Amino acid sequence: MAMKSLTRKLVSCVILDLDGTLINTEGVVEDVLKVFLVKYGKQWDGRGTLNRTGKAPIEAAASIIEDYGLPCTTEEFMTDIAPLFSDCWSKMVALPGAERLIKHLHNRGVPIALASNSPKASIETKLSYHHGWKERFSVIIGGDEVREGKPSPEIFLEAANKLSVDPSSCLVVEDSLPGITAGKAAGMAVVAVPSVPNQTHVYSCADEVINSLLDLHLENWGLPPFQDWIEGTLPIGPWYIGGPVIKGYGRGSKVLGIPTANISPNGFSDILSVSASGVYFGWAGLSTRGIYKMVMSIGWNPYFHNAEKTIEPWLLHDFNEDFYGEELRLAIVGYIRPEANFPSLDDLIKRIHEDRRIAEKALDLPLYSSYKGAPYLITPLVQDDR
Ligand code: RBF
Ligand code: MG
């Protein structure tokens, strides 16, 4: 997305935030809040998410009490809600590209620090569900180990100090405004990876705003680049998802002349909620017809101001019939680019056709073509109620 200036700083170390940057804490917190607020006769409506992200737990609690007018103290709130969190740690999954980033930097000898407003003990608990992460950080600092958490620069300055480098040699990766503010105040380069969608303007003090960690270009900061991009594509997954086609015509959609075939997002809200919005590709199986190359978008389609995240595969084949209602199976194997807004419909259509070319060519590479034979693509739907 937006890159501020062409004279970017070159760095030698990376400092990562944890919640919302490496793991999907916010989604899990939301699930807990939904259940918890019912106790007070309130209904979760997503209020204040932007205010809460990046705050220390106690401050986040205070802001929820205020937002929902709860009749309790912050301490009571924290005590009451704690048990609900205890079996949630394992649901805090790695965000797209987190594991890849940590491994890559570590393998290439770039020192990495973790700096989080969460208390050290919760950081340890969260990390324990992600094999091999803890060992790869040279430094880990919790919010309870500094006098002032983010947005104070203290936690990042302490991280630089422990890494024995100058703050100006550090790149901070952050999802929240307090974190970005802290990083800039510490004199560091800051890449924002917003965990709240469509709020790019809020992050304008960052040096760069990207859509997900998959879009991080380390070479922009003088760091060793990722080596896994192949012909404009990044191997991911494979993810297998499917369901009946709920929209889509087979012969061409009315708006763009691009025959996409929506499947209902209900069954895989998990995959949807943690996957970065963007363009992906892979193989598509239609139960009675065959297996086809496929390029797809996951996201909000900013051009059309959609309110919900959708999955919209385009089967790369000339159908002369509709396949509405048929069972569609997908093997998603690669990523192409972040979702973007385009100045005109023409630009959007041009870009989607470019995505098609990239996907069609890449799917002939052995790396991707091998998934064409995945049994999932042709297995008839079996009802399993267990
Ligand atoms: N919509 C957007 O607003 N921005 C995008 O970057 C975008 N990329 C797409 C890429 C592919 C491969 C496909 C199939 C669709 C994409 N769309 C995007 C969604 C497009 O707007 C959608 O197909 C229309 O809503 C027509 O149904
Ligand atoms: Mg965060």
| pLDDT (0 to 100) of residue 51 | 80
| pLDDT (0 to 100) of residue 227 | 96
| pLDDT (0 to 100) of residue 86 | 78
Ligand 1 atom at shortest distance from the alpha carbon of 359:
12
* 30 part of a folded domain: yes
Residue 180 and residue 209 in one domain: yes
Cβ atoms 112, 49 nearer than 8 A: no
State the pLDDT confidence band at 355, using cuts at 50, 70 and 90: very high
Residue 298, strand partner residues:
278, 311
Q: What is the mean pLDDT of residues 217-225?
A: 96
> Coil, strand, or helix at residue 335?
strand
Residue 211 and residue 250 in one domain: no
Distance 23 CA to ligand 1 centre (A): 27
* 384 part of a folded domain: no
Domain that holds residue 43: 26-91
What separation in angstroms does the CA of 105 have from each of 59, 75, 102, 227?
Answer: 32, 39, 5, 12
| CA–CA dist 84, 8 (Å, integer) | 44
| pLDDT (0 to 100) of residue 140 | 98
Residue 134 and residue 71 in one domain: no
* Ligand 1 pocket test, candidate residues 233, 301, 316, 353, most atoms within 8 A of CB: 301
pLDDT (tens digit per residue) in 236-255: 989 999 988 887 666 555 56
| Closest alpha carbon to 294 in 285, 303, 302 | 285
Count of positions (residues) in the chain: 386
Q: What is the mean pLDDT of residues 178-201?
A: 90
Which DSSP string do the residues of 268-285 spell out, in sequence order? GHHHHHHSPSEEEEEEEE
Token pair in block for residue 103: 């491994």
Which of 91, 109, 134 terminates a domain? The answer is 91
Ligand 1 atom at shortest distance from the alpha carbon of 262:
27
Which of 70, 91, 112 terminates a domain? The answer is 91
Q: Is residue 182 scored above 50 in pLDDT?
A: yes
Nearest CA, atom 22, ligand 1: 301
pLDDT (tens digit per residue) in 114-136: 999 999 999 999 999 999 999 99
Give the total number of structural domains in the chain.
3
Q: What is the mean pLDDT of the chain?
A: 89
| Closest alpha carbon to 65 in 26, 28, 34, 37 | 37
| pLDDT (0 to 100) of residue 250 | 64
| pLDDT (0 to 100) of residue 386 | 40
* 190 part of a folded domain: yes
* Residue 312 annotated to the active site: yes
- Residue 307: which CATH number? 2.40.30.30
Which DSSP string do the residues of 172-236 spell out, in sequence order? EEESSHHHHHHHHHTT-EEEE--SSTT-GGGGTTSSEE-SSGGG--GGGGTSPPPS--BTTBEEE
Residue 332, strand partner residues:
239, 282
Residue 175 and residue 265 in one domain: no
| CA–CA dist 162, 186 (Å, integer) | 14
Marked catalytic residue, from 26, 174, 312, 355? 312
| pLDDT (0 to 100) of residue 29 | 85
Nearest CA, atom 9, ligand 1: 297
Distance 181 CA to ligand 2 centre (A): 12
State the pLDDT confidence band at 74, using cuts at 50, 70 and 90: very high
Q: pTM of the full predicted structure?
A: 0.90
Residue 171 and residue 271 in one domain: no
Identity of the residue numbered 362: A
* Residue 19 annotated to the active site: yes
